[in-house]
Amino acid sequence: MMAKTKASIVSQGLPFFAFIVASWYGLSSLVQNKRDLGSATRGLDSVEEMDPVERMRRRYRMSESDSKGSVPVSSLEDELENVHKSINIYDFDYKPVPRTDEEEE
């Protein structure tokens, strides 16, 4: 009776654990290959990954001359400074919001 339980553990348990280890190795290599391929096709280096504007230009294949603003944006900080220069919160006029006919009833 002992020989039968040892044989069943070896004949069933060992292939099961081998299958688990082989599957883990196979899936990890597939995921790593997918990550390597994704980073290679994007073509981003560490500086471009940190700069969201450059990442957007690369993703949508835009060059600096394609930007709609008069001055190309080099970073988000520069864009924020440009917005702060163009907006004056102390000089404004009150303009009433036009109402629809439904709200007047």
pTM summary value: 0.33
Contacts of 76 (CB under 8 A, 6+ apart): 52, 53
pLDDT tens profile 26-49: 999 888 888 877 666 555 555 555
Task: Report pLDDT for 66.
Answer: 55
Q: Residue 46's closest CA among 55, 34, 37, 36?
A: 55
* CB half-sphere exposure, 97, CA atoms < 13 A: 3
pLDDT tens profile 43-96: 555 555 567 777 777 777 776 655 555 455 577 888 888 888 888 888 888 888
Task: Report pLDDT for 56.
Answer: 74
SS3 category, 98: coil
Domain extents in the chain:
9-42, 44-86
